Amino acid sequence: MPFDPLSFFVLATPYILPVLGAIIFFFIGRIIARRLSEFIAKLMTGRGVDATLVGFTQNLAYIVLMAMVIIAALNLIGFETTSIVAVMGAATLAIGFALQDSLANFAAGVMVIFFRPYKVGDLVEINGVFGAVKEVQLFNTIITSPDNKQVIVANSSAIGDNIVNYSTNGHVRLDMVFGIGYGDDLLKAKGILENILSSQSEVLENPAPSVTVLELGDSSVNFAVRPFVNVADYWTVHFNTHEQVKLRFDAEGISIPYPTQDINVAQLGQWQTDTRGI
């Protein structure tokens, strides 16, 4: 039987038009969903909402809107949306059992958003990872380490472990230890350490920094040097202080001892045995 293009077009028209309409609706709906989620984020940002909550809400809104667009597009083709929703519900339940860890990460992400143990920009230590929080996603927290590496921490691991937030109180204390020799002038060394701290504008006056004798070590007298700084100045003060201590101690003739050990060698005499025959 010869192919009749006109007959084929007449028969296919009831199916082609809905499919084309669904495709057009999907792409337009996706654009609208993206723009609407961006608008929601912009509106929340303009009202001073935390960046962590803004990003989370934007992602969630986009997912919900896209789900609505897909269901509506399938409805245009002629699928029964009630059955689709039922199938999606059953599929969601099955996927939920298969992706328990991912759902745990999602639930932990919701807890991070609402209880806010940390937020974007905070300097934290989470699950043994130290760095600044770059982004809180639905399933993971993105941390930038001091050496500019990106570390991805699962939200469930973050919530299930200790969280150290250095930014909560606005300032942190540096704990540094410097040693001098037993033959050096203790009060002179202490004055130099105090002067090094006071000369740095990043060191806070309140709470006041402290320089105290920590211990009389095996080969050195150790000072505990503890200034308070803003979180952003943590590494600046840390590196500057160590550099200045070395330079000033060298200039003032104060030694920085390293571990030593005295070894006394005793030479044992040799016993001479006189063996006589009987």
Tens of pLDDT, residue by residue over 205-245, are: 989 999 999 999 888 999 999 999 998 888 899 999 999 99
Please list the alpha-helical segments (H only) found in 99-145: 100-115
182 domain-assigned: yes
Q: Is the domain of 50 the same as that of 69?
A: yes
Q: Nearest 5 degrees, angle CA 211-CA 190-CA 206?
A: 35
Cβ density class 226-256: b for 16+ within 10 Å, e for less: bbbbebebbeebeebbeebbeebbeeeebee
Q: What does DSSP say about strands 140-144 and 150-154: parallel, antiparallel, or unpaired? A: antiparallel
CATH number of residue 178's parent domain: 3.30.70.100
CATH code at 155? Answer: 2.30.30.60
Query: Which helix (H) or strand (E) covers residue 278, if one does?
Result: none
Residue 188 lies in a domain: yes
Residues 187 and 161 in one domain: no
Please give the pLDDT value at position 188.
95
pTM for this one? Answer: 0.54
Rounded to 5°, angle at Cα 187 from 184 and 191: 115
Q: 150 and 228: one domain?
A: no
Predicted confidence at residue 152, as pLDDT, reads 87
Q: Are 74 and 123 in the same domain?
A: no
In a domain, 61, yes or no: yes
Q: How far apart are CA 226 and CA 11, in angstroms?
A: 84
- What per-residue confidence (pLDDT) applies to 277? 47
190 with 214, same domain: the answer is: yes
Rounded mean pLDDT for each run of 10 residues along the chain, 278 residues in total = 52 67 85 88 77 75 84 75 62 55 68 78 86 82 86 82 83 92 94 94 92 92 94 90 95 85 62 49
Residue 12 has a pLDDT of: 55
Domain around 153:
118-165
pLDDT of residue 170: 80
DSSP 172-241: EE--EEEEE-TTS-HHHHHHHHHHHHHT-TTB-SSSPPEEEEEEE-SS-EEEEEE-EEEGGGHHHHHHHH
Alpha carbons 55 and 133: distance in angstroms, whole number: 13
* Amino acid symbol at 146: P
